[in-house]
Amino acid sequence: MSSNAELQARRQKAVPRGVSNSLAVYAERASNAELWDVEGRRYIDFASGISVLNTGHVHPKVAQAIARQLEKFTHACFQVTPYESYVALAEQLNGLAPGATPKKTIFLTTGAEAVENAVKIARFHTKRSAVIAFSGGFHGRTLACISLTGKVSPYKSGFGPMLPEIFHLPYPTAYHGVTVEDCFVALDRLFKADVDPARVAAIIIEPVQGEGGFYAAPPELLRRLRTVCDTHGIVLIADEIQSGFGRTGRMFAVEHSGIEPDLITIAKSVAGGVPLAGVIGKADIMDAPAAGGLGGTFAGSPLACAAGLAVLEVLREEQLLKRAQDIGRFMSSRLKGLQVRFPCIGEVRNLGAMVAMELVKNARADSPDAELTKALVQAAGRHGLVLLSCGVYANVIRFLAPLTITDALLKEGFHLLELALDEVAGGVAAKATG
Ligand SMILES: Cc1ncc(COP(=O)(O)O)c(C=O)c1O
């Protein structure tokens, strides 16, 4: 049996450092919200492989669907000899996407690919080229996606030049004093000083910023962006790759604002751990590119589509949207309790089960504590809890437990979190007695 240390030494020789690891913990097996490493140690998983496992590790229904498909065929390529599961999954997603306008769906393999395709479709439809994105946003690691992404290091620096005609607006973050008004003042100025709105193909926004720090867009922002897009013939793209598939208590986070985006990008939790991404959109926009202009060899693979159909069944049968709301309430109330003991927790925020705490020095929003955040992730790992950080200033812990997690594991996870916080931050009460 290999140890984590042995595997880490091999990894350092064989795999480039550009692919980072949160923990030097090598997974051996996993089930629902638990994971065991190669040394037999058990972890509670509050990361879900970056939001991929809303239905948990190896959900029996998803595993059965994949096994059944494995017995039939693993690959045909939808562009060569199509198969029903792709069509059936598209039909279901078209019905689930918000708004009354008829929809169509294309499947791809990764989130970045979904974003690339959404931009291609918007450009073809509008015959325009510029795209507006948001500061702090994250859209993937391909060249178009890093151009859209609003965080320089480590995503953009050294990889330029970026795609031309990409502009960024401020994303409202109440904790940092950035308002919806700031965003529209910047947009107004952008249209006056930098780009004619008639050249703008798309505005792309995460309804809840993921990598950027788990900030939810105020509903007013999304509604006003919808109006701007309608006024200028711009395609509104909601990037729901991290916020979608029940995570926020609705199928898509954008539903909290009541708007209908033109295109929605999906990935991560769509197929319970099998790579699958897609773009769902208004049918007339989706049909703009000519035959052959979209697709991909592995895009919408039969294994992924079978898993995707099973994931939708699980979301319905286990009422995971409601469960997301319950998990969100539990987590945010526990974190607010911890905030009293640990002044380093500057803010606790959530939309459903997309929960975060921001760690700061001296209780000041403008003093991010990236060191402490890093230390907490490592300490939690030592206590048997997988945590993930995020944020433009790398000072946010995001909580992404599977929506299928049991109450007992949730509670145990928070106990481990408290132990880790005690270790690296020393609670107020702990200091008084220590
Ligand atoms: C909002 C958002 N868009 C796009 C991506 C890129 O997805 P992938 O890593 O599958 O390419 C991510 C990944 O974290 C994401 O959170």
Across the chain, which has 434 residues, the per-10-residue mean pLDDT values are 94 97 97 98 98 98 98 98 98 98 98 98 98 98 98 96 98 98 98 98 98 98 98 99 98 98 98 98 98 98 98 98 98 97 97 98 96 98 98 98 98 98 81 40
Task: Give this prediction's pTM.
Answer: 0.97
Residue 429 has a pLDDT of 58
Question: What percent of the chain is helix, strand and coil (3-state, nearest 5)?
Answer: 45, 20, 40
For a mutational test of ligand 1's pocket, the pick from 50, 151, 206, 242, i.e. the residue with the most ligand atoms closer than 8 A to its C-beta, is 242
Residue 1 has a pLDDT of 73
Cα 87 to middle of ligand 1, angstroms? 24
Nearest atom of ligand 1 to the alpha carbon of 211: 16
Q: Ligand 1 within 6 A of 210 CB?
A: yes
HSE at residue 152, side-chain half, CA atoms within 13 A, is 3
Q: Ligand 1 within 6 A of 413 CB?
A: no
Query: Phi then psi for 43, rounded to 5 degrees?
Result: -130, 145
Q: Ligand 1 within 6 A of 37 CB?
A: no
Q: Ligand 1 within 6 A of 112 CB?
A: yes
Residue 430 has a pLDDT of 46
Cα 352 to middle of ligand 1, angstroms? 19
Nearest 10 degrees: Cα torsion 342, 344, 350, 354: -100
Cα 411 to middle of ligand 1, angstroms? 29
Cα 49 to middle of ligand 1, angstroms? 12
CB 395 within 8 A of CB 360: yes
| Owner of token pair 């918000």 | 98
Helices (H), 104-215: 111-126, 143-148, 180-193
Distance from the Cα of residue 240 to its chain's centroid: 7
Per-residue burial over 411-422, b = 16 or more CB atoms within 10 Å of its CB, e = otherwise: ebbbebbbebbb
Q: Ligand 1 within 6 A of 111 CB?
A: yes
Q: Ligand 1 within 6 A of 140 CB?
A: yes
The CA-to-CA distance between both ends of the chain, in Å, stands at 41
Reference 248, options 38, 427, 398; nearest CA is 398
| Neighbouring residues of 369: CB distance < 8 A, sequence distance ≥ 6 | 344, 359, 360, 361, 395
Q: Ligand 1 within 6 A of 115 CB?
A: yes
Q: Ligand 1 within 6 A of 212 CB?
A: no
Give the residues across from 289 on adjacent strands: none
Q: Ligand 1 within 6 A of 241 CB?
A: yes
Cα 112 to middle of ligand 1, angstroms? 6
d(CA 300, CA 183): 36
Residue 432 has a pLDDT of 41
For residue 193 the two structure tokens come to 């000083």
Q: Concatenated DSSP letters for 265-284?
A: EE-GGGGTTS--EEEEEEHH
CB 245 within 8 A of CB 269: yes
For residue 24 the two structure tokens come to 């030097």
For residue 35 the two structure tokens come to 């994971």
Reference 44, options 416, 336, 403; nearest CA is 416
Backbone dihedral region of 56: left (phi > 0), alpha (psi from -120 to 50 degrees) or beta? Answer: left
Q: Whose CA is nearest to atom 6 of ligand 1?
A: 140
Cα 387 to middle of ligand 1, angstroms? 18
CB 47 within 8 A of CB 273: no
Q: Ligand 1 within 6 A of 138 CB?
A: yes
CB 131 within 8 A of CB 166: yes
Distance from the Cα of residue 412 to its chain's centroid: 25
Reference 212, options 113, 327, 120, 349; nearest CA is 349
Q: Give CA separation, 304 vs 62, 216, 364, in Å.
A: 10, 29, 45
Cα 211 to middle of ligand 1, angstroms? 9
